[in-house]
Structure 1
Amino acid sequence: MALVKYKLKKNDPVIVKVGKDKGKKSKILKVDKKNAKLFLEDVNVVKRHTKPNPMDPDGGIHEKEMPIDISNAMYYCKKCDSGVRLGVKVLGSGQKQRFCKSCGEIVDKD
Structure 2
Amino acid sequence: MSVKKDDLVEVISGKDKGKQAKVLRAYPSEDKVVVEGVAVVKKAMRPTAVNTQGGFVEKEAKIHVSNVMLVCPSCSKPTRVGHKQGELNGKKTAIRVCKKCGAEF
TM range (shorter): 0.7 to 0.9
Cα offsets for 1:18-76 (capped at 9, x unmatched)? 00100000111111112111001111111123232333111122111100011000001
Q: Could you tell me the TM-score, scaled by structure 2's length?
A: 0.86
Percent identical residues? 38
Q: Could you tell me the TM-score, scaled by structure 1's length?
A: 0.82
Unaligned 5+ segments in structure 1 are 1-5
- Taking the aligned partners of 2:93 and 2:16, their CA distance within structure 1 comes to 36
Give the match for residue 30 of structure 2: 35
How many residue pairs match? The answer is 102
Question: Counterparts in 2 of 1:45-60, with a 5 A limit?
Answer: 45-60=40-55
What do you get for the CA RMSD once the two structures are aligned? Answer: 1.7
Give the match for residue 96 of structure 1: 94
Give the match for residue 8 of structure 2: 13
- Taking the aligned partners of 2:4 and 2:75, their CA distance within structure 1 comes to 19
Secondary structure of 1:27's counterpart equals strand
Structure 1 runs (4+) deviating above 4 angstroms are none
Unaligned 5+ segments in structure 2 are none
Following TM superposition, by how much is the alpha carbon of 1:78 offset from its aligned partner in structure 2, in angstroms? 4.2
